[in-house]
Structure 1
Amino acid sequence: MIAAISGRALAAAARRAGYRPLVADFFCDTDTVALAERATMLPGDLQGGIDGERIIETLRQLAGDDQPVAIVLGSGFERMTETVDVIARYFPLAGNSGGAIRRIKDPQLLAADCAELGIPHPQFRWDRPPDPENWVVKTAGGAGGAHIRRAAGETSVLQSQAPGGRYFQRFVPGRSISALFVGDGQTADIVGFSQQWASPAPAAPYRYGGAVRLRRFDRKQAAMIRGWLSGLVRRAGLVGLCSA
């Protein structure tokens, strides 16, 4: 069983692996429906997110008389860790627990873990920086880049702290590179690297625009990154497909 804002790629992977995917997503586009054994609309919408109060009933109806081998949760659950915990009580969860997501999505804990593990990371703070032009404001647990703003343009920087769930992170220029990896709770095995680009909007200057796989990547850097990620995997208990 797959639940995600868009479950098409996960459904395709499940089919290639010999499974019969049951898919709940926001779109139920023709490609996803063709890949799925059964498909249904995920409750909620793109503006408000997944409806956690209706998700269990939706998934139970999707499963019907079948007992799914496991449920895979894709995009949309990054800030719904309590919902992840509830889903895990009804279906075998393949992937990170709510506790693991809470730890890795907590900016203060992540910064502390990175510092202890010797992983370079942007400076983090809850309170207003004295030089907001060099900082961005982000939402804890956010994804897709639409939640990121330059701190100098935010009214929140006039206050002593960012509003609830928002935090400051020092802006670091450079390329945006992602490592796709699989964790087993102890080590990280890298699947590949990609480079992302933004599709700016007036209210979302860092909105995600797309990604392309990098066929070549420096081996020494790749080994170093794998070591960093293995440290985080052990610290947070990460399992399944993740990205950094």
Structure 2
Amino acid sequence: MPSSSRDLSRPEDGFDVVLAGIAARGLAASARRAGLRALVLDLFADEDTRALASHVVQLRRHDGFALDPDDLLEQLGRHAGADVPLVLGTGFEDAPELVAQLAARFHVVGSGADTLAKLKDPVLFARQLAALGIPHPRLFPGAAPEGRRALEKRVGGSGGGHVRPARRARGAGWYLQEFVEGRSVSVLFLGDGEAARLIAFSEQWCDASDDAPFRYGGCAGPVAVEDARARQVADALSKLTGAVGLKGLASADLILHDEGWHLIEVNPRPGATLDIFDAPPLPPLLRLHLDACAGRLPELPLLVPGAGVEARAAGLFYAPAAMVLRDALPDWAADRPAPGTRIAAGEPVCTVRAAGRDIAEARAVLARRMDHLSRALSTASRAAAE
């Protein structure tokens, strides 16, 4: 567990915000940009997270890359004040009960347990969308109808690693959703519990592995979406925000196609697009999150490609084989483990970032950096195997 020279027992060493999640480096960077002193609790305590935060607590892993609720509650009780804003990142999608526990003891700033349950329970979510007239994929309670493609997903899952083509869901904790063909995009937005404000659209892609064909690969933005369609999405998300009481930063995954669009999923927390949007011309996104949770939506125009707007891309680099990191990673890599860290095959090593004049250039730079990292780390993979 990383240590800090700051003495947490002294009042002058207080924090402005507490950030918790599986990986909270993006939130820590936004806090630093906003001038906020952050206490971070996550599973990795990466080197750049430690440099960005005032103090970092490495949490115990539970069942792979899940948060251990007991350890999280214990560490928060030990290090975090009850009145300091607590912002939750990834790792709480399937745990509304844990969010309720946290809200009872700490000052959670964001969507509550009830909102989370309504958005992440697939049946409740589909019913809510139907009631609001928002286009969405059908759920199949049994087998998919003949001739219909379907995806099996884990309830509350994130990251895409749990998604697979299937004819029938495997049982409790899983569901079957209609597959919708089209362009996969995500929209970052803010909610104040009553209305939503769109911030920017991004494109996303998969980095398929043998057992995870829809594993999350990365994102790039901003991308342009037809004005009429963007207005439809904004109206739909405002209706949904008011219906479920969504607050703060969130993202919605969409499929755009010739006939229109479908809303696939809503993640009611700050996510991966912090890496491409938490930079000028936008203000610090964590500050916008705190403001929206207090009922203040910003008067910001939708961020679109154009003059003066740099395109950015960020992708996850997964270990192709078991490895031991021998050297520090390049500056364009984020979520940097310390040299000597052992990483199993298929686990994320770091986030790779790139920028360009447009999306094509940003993704081309990202691809070159991914290739460079793959070649550079091949030695580490061989060393781990010997």
The answer to whether the aligner puts 1:61 opposite 2:69 as a matched pair is no
2:230 is aligned, of 219, 222, 225, to 222
1:82 is aligned, of 97, 112, 115, to 97
1:15 is aligned, of 9, 32, 40, to 32
Displacement after TM superposition at 1:27 (Å): 1.0
Task: Show structure 1 runs of 5+ residues with no match.
Answer: none
Q: Deviations over 1:107-126 (max 9, x none)?
A: 11111111121111111122
Cα distance in structure 2, aligned partners of 1:119 and 1:163: 27
Displacement after TM superposition at 1:61 (Å): 2.3
1:181 is aligned, of 178, 182, 189, to 189
Task: Note if contact 1:126-1:162 (Cα within 8 Å) is conserved in structure 2.
Answer: no
Task: Note if contact 2:22-2:65 (Cα within 8 Å) is conserved in structure 1.
Answer: no
Aligned-pair identity (%): 40
The alignment of Structure 1 onto Structure 2 pairs a total of residues equal to 235
Secondary structure at 1:54 match in 2:
helix
Task: Note if contact 1:148-1:204 (Cα within 8 Å) is conserved in structure 2.
Answer: yes
Secondary structure at 1:190 match in 2:
strand
Task: Note if contact 1:33-1:39 (Cα within 8 Å) is conserved in structure 2.
Answer: yes
Correspondence 1:167-206 to 2 at 5 A: 167-206=175-214
Displacement after TM superposition at 1:133 (Å): 5.9
Correspondence 1:53-202 to 2 at 5 A: 53-63=70-80, 66=81, 69-131=84-146, 134-152=149-167, 157=168, 162-202=170-210
1:45–1:210 distance in 2 versus 1, CA, 3 Å: farther
The answer to whether the aligner puts 1:207 opposite 2:215 as a matched pair is yes
Correspondence 1:14-33 to 2 at 5 A: 14-33=31-50
Secondary structure at 2:183 match in 1:
coil
Task: Note if contact 1:3-1:42 (Cα within 8 Å) is conserved in structure 2.
Answer: no
Displacement after TM superposition at 1:18 (Å): 2.0
Task: Note if contact 1:20-1:36 (Cα within 8 Å) is conserved in structure 2.
Answer: yes
Task: Show structure 2 runs of 5+ residues with no match.
Answer: 1-17, 253-386
Displacement after TM superposition at 1:48 (Å): 5.1
Task: Note if contact 2:138-2:177 (Cα within 8 Å) is conserved in structure 1.
Answer: yes
Partner of 1:238: 246
Q: Taking structure 1 as the reference length, what is the TM-score of the superposition?
A: 0.91
Q: Deviations over 1:184-209 (max 9, x none)?
A: 01001111111110011111110000
Cα distance in structure 2, aligned partners of 1:44 and 1:88: 22
Quick check: 22-31 or 123-132, which moved more?
123-132
The answer to whether the aligner puts 1:41 opposite 2:58 as a matched pair is yes
1:68–1:14 distance in 2 versus 1, CA, 3 Å: farther
Q: Which has the larger radius of gyration?
A: 2
Q: Taking structure 2 as the reference length, what is the TM-score of the superposition?
A: 0.59
Cα distance in structure 2, aligned partners of 1:92 and 1:132: 49
Q: Deviations over 1:137-185 (max 9, x none)?
A: 1111111111111014xxxx3xxx6411111111111111111111001
**Match of 1:180, as an amino acid?**
L
Displacement after TM superposition at 1:67 (Å): 5.4
Cα distance in structure 1, aligned partners of 2:88 and 2:197: 20
Secondary structure at 1:197 match in 2:
strand
Quick check: 211-220 or 178-187, which moved more?
211-220
Q: Deviations over 1:64-84 (max 9, x none)?
A: xx5553000000110111111
Secondary structure at 1:115 match in 2:
helix
